[in-house]
Amino acid sequence: MASVLRQAARLASSRCLTQLSAASSTSRLGASSYNFSPSSRNASTSSTIKVQLDSNTGVAIMMFQNPPVNSMSLDFMTEFVIAWDKLELDKSCRGIILTSALPNVFSAGLDIMDMYGTTPEHRTAFWKALQELWLKVYGSGKIVVAAINGASPAGGCLMALSCDYRIMIDNPKYKIGINETKLGIVAPFWFKDCLENTVGYRMSEMSVQYGILYNSAEALKIGLVDQLVPEDKLISTATETMIKWFAIPDYARQISKAMVRKATMDKMLAGREADITNFVTFTNKDSIQKSLGMYMEMLKGRKAK
């Protein structure tokens, strides 16, 4: 319990006394065209991560802008963590909405080109960056809402699963899930743990083996997402949701969050080095490199047809 309290105290540094103005009910298509209020300011200058912070509401919108599909490359994840740290330290920010500035895709997951044909040193840095990103988002004292505006496979699904609440566009063409087995690779234990914590044991047992990608209605049905909305209501609903969460005193909520997430966090922290070794060893295998290569070919071939 002492460590939970310490963790919560650390996280409580993100508390703020911002007066909440009425939630913006502005409806716009997608985050990139969202109409930010006059009190919004650019909180990040990164090329792939755009951040807008509304100091009246305390809501920050973090948008991924890494074309063509917001793949989570080493560079993208490094920029993500830098932008995240800035927000985490900003006392005027109480909650963060994660979304995509690109149409049709939230994130295509880990960048396969960072895993395919790269050196062990590169893959070590890549996996460390992913662990870092996950620890920051999953362990954040802020309220984190995923506004899922497109496809969200594998690492993209992990990002969404690390949030406190998931809202997805109600459109059957957008799929979300832990699909690694379909690529011939294995989702690490912490991906599986996040899924299991969200949808339960049996559903994740089926899900990770089959590598199921769920459409939005299926994802809602199994509890992988919490709410579906029309595209033009995504950001306004995420903002309204956030403001409802703000009614809960931060400190009490942060301690509760840290308690619930402690076992999953501790497991990763204890196994962090071994997890890196596993990843590098696993992706060193010729058979795994071959699977990744074939998957990339398949993606490119699909486009050519």
Ligand X SMILES: CCCCC/C=C\C/C=C\CCC/C=C/C(=O)SCCNC(=O)CCNC(=O)[C@H](O)C(C)(C)COP(=O)(O)OP(=O)(O)OC[C@H]1O[C@@H](n2cnc3c(N)ncnc32)[C@H](O)[C@@H]1OP(=O)(O)O
Instruction: Select which of 109, 155, 177, 211 is catalytic.
Output: 155
Bridge partners (DSSP) listed for residue 29: none
Rounded Cα gap, residues 27 and 233, in angstroms: 5
Kindly state the smallest distance separating residue 218's Cβ from ligand X, in Å. Answer: 16
Q: Which of 12, 135, 186, 265 is the binder for ligand X (CB under 6 A)?
A: 186
| Residue linked to tokens 């954040």 | 140
Kindly state the smallest distance separating residue 34's Cβ from ligand X, in Å. Answer: 21
User: Which bin fits 104, alpha (ψ -120 to 50), beta or left (φ > 0)?
Assistant: left
3-state secondary structure (DSSP) of residue 162: coil
DSSP 37-106: -TTEEE----SSEEEEEETTTTEEEEEE--TTTT-B-HHHHHHHHHHHHHHHH-TT--EEEEEESSTTBS
Contact predicate 251/206, CB 8 Å: no
Pick from 207, 152, 211: nearest CA to 180: 211
Kindly state the smallest distance separating residue 235's Cβ from ligand X, in Å. Answer: 21
Residue 271 annotated among the catalytic residues of the structure: no
Residue 220 annotated among the catalytic residues of the structure: no
Is position 71 an interface residue for ligand X (rule: CB under 6 A)?
yes
- C-alpha 88: how far from its chain's center? 15
Q: Which of 95, 139, 141, 153 is the binder for ligand X (CB under 6 A)?
A: 153
Instruction: Select which of 66, 70, 149, 179 is catalytic.
Output: 179
Residue nearest to ligand X (CB): 109
Residues 245-304 that bind ligand X (CB under 6 A): 278-279, 282-283, 299-300, 303
Residue 155 annotated among the catalytic residues of the structure: yes
* Cβ distance to ligand X smaller for residue 60 or 74: 74
> What are the DSSP E strand ranges found in 136-222?
143-148, 152-153, 165-169, 175-177, 214-215
Is position 161 an interface residue for ligand X (rule: CB under 6 A)?
no
Q: Which of 179, 204, 241, 264 is the binder for ligand X (CB under 6 A)?
A: 179
Rounded Cα gap, residues 263 and 270, in angstroms: 10
Residue span 99-138 as binding mask against ligand X, x where in contact by CB under 6 A, dash where not: -----xx--xxxxxx-------------------------
Active-site positions read 110, 155, 179-180
User: Interface residues with ligand X (CB under 6 A)?
Assistant: 68-69, 71, 104-105, 108-113, 151, 153-155, 179-180, 183, 185-188, 278-279, 282-283, 299-300, 303
